[in-house]
Structure 1
Amino acid sequence: MAERTRQKILDAAMVEFGAKGYSGARTAGIAARAGVNQQLIAYYFGGKQGLLDELRRRWSTRQETLVPPEATFAESLQAYLDVTLDHLDWARLVVWQALGDDPGQGAEESDHTQGRRIEDGVRRIRDRQRAGELTDSVSAEFIVLLAHMAAFAPVAMPQMVQSILGVAPGSAEYRRLCRDQLATLLGPREAVHDTPPG
């Protein structure tokens, strides 16, 4: 029973944080969404900050097992697109925080974890470049940035995605298009031979 109540509170907090950001979210609103007494938030999590810290911890654990080591770049990108666009409340919270709505307590640890994850992503891209899976004419850092932009564009700029690509933001068609286009754009360049005709 207690674990089910905790999960209801966490689910409600994710929706509230996604809709209003950390600063705009209220424990009363979270409690109302969860259908629980507001005092249970303090009891189980110590308050709003504790809720955010627990959500971050769970999300971090989930991301560490997101992509199997043998996955291709296209498969990795697909997994990243799916986890971002299937969890829009979390993705919106990430956008809120990127815009500066991030509490001091816990934010530094979150930034450190994100920094480590980005460094790991850059390292994996470099490994793919050395293996010939991806072009080395684009920096690994920029490839990681492109992947993040593709994943968060439907969250931060859905109307622009719709206008430019003519597909529903976050749809399976959008994900497939991003995966295929980036894999094509960033794939290895074929060797050019200057063989005269004839």
Structure 2
Amino acid sequence: MARRTDSPSRSRTTSNARPRRTPDQAERRRDPQRTRERIVEAALAEFSAKGFAGARVSEIAERAGLNKQLISYYFGGKAGLYQAILARWQEGEDAVVAGQQDQSLADLTTSYVARIPRDRDLARLLAWEGLSPDSGDAGGEHRTARMRQALEDLGRRQRAGELAGDLDPRCFLLAFMAAATAPATLPQLARSIFDADPDSEEFAQHYADQLARMIEHLSGE
């Protein structure tokens, strides 16, 4: 007698397979702006903890307390959600820069670095993007334009005497970005050096003040 080749387990798997579900109208109508916010906040936490490659849509949905199909509905999937986070970060950075043109370089440093505890996940996301080839260069074009803008501003400040004339603004900018995000990207070193919590507001303010003093010394005066 010929034996059947289909196993019971295979038959059950086939019969129980469910098609991908589109969020119903009630889900879509439930405060879409707030729903998007919850997804973005959960995704930022997940991406900053695991990078783009390690993050899972199901875990982002679980963090947000929402159906994972809503991520596809609002953002088109993980890649679209990652792009949305980068776009929001870029908008925030542009707004900060626009409001700080009249500040001295030292004061600009203090206000920027003091924000790191609030932007810790974004700083870690930036580190993941640099270390993981799977992240690609999603914000590359905007980032390049932003860095050129920053270099133009540093050139203006250098001509005004805020930065010593023998310093290369490009080297200064890279070193400053690394130093500003170090408490978020190298928290283990910060804890070992300071014996303090690098995520605390007190640490951030002290660190920001000290970086500002270092920059004041770089004026060459």
TM-score of the pair, normalised by structure 1: 0.86
- Offset of 1:160 from its aligned partner? 2.2
Q: Which amino acid aligns with 1:103?
A: S
Q: 1:55 aligns with which of 85, 97, 102?
A: 85
What residue is the counterpart of 1:44 in the other structure? 74
How far did 1:27 drift?
Answer: 0.5
Gaps of 5+ in 1: 190-198
2:168 counterpart of 1:139? yes
Alignment correspondent of 1:25: 55
Q: Distance in 2 between matches of 1:120 and 1:97?
A: 21
Shift of 1:169: 2.7
Q: Is the 8 A contact 2:40 2:85 kept in 1?
A: yes
- The Cα of 1:168 is off from its aligned counterpart by 4.2
> Is 1:75 the counterpart of 2:107 in the alignment?
yes
Contact between 1:15 and 1:89, CA under 8 Å: does it hold in 2? yes
Is the 2:109–2:208 contact (alpha carbons within 8 Å) kept by the matching residues of 1?
no
**TM-score normalised by length of structure 2:** 0.77
What do residues 110-159 of structure 1 show as CA deviations (whole Å, max 9, x unaligned)? 11211111111111111111011221121111110121111121122223
Partners of 1:65 and 1:87 lie apart in 2 by 14
Which 5+ residue runs of structure 2 have no aligned equivalent? 1-30
Letter in 1 for 2:180: A
Q: Return 64-73 or 2-11, whichever deviates more.
A: 64-73
Q: Percent identity?
A: 35
In structure 2, the partner of 1:194 is: none
Larger C-alpha radius of gyration, 1 or 2? 2
Q: What is the match of residue 140 of structure 2?
A: 111
Q: Is 1:187 matched up with 2:216?
A: no
How far 1:78 moved relative to its partner? 2.0
* Residue aligned with 1:65, SS: helix
TM superposition shift of 1:40:
0.5
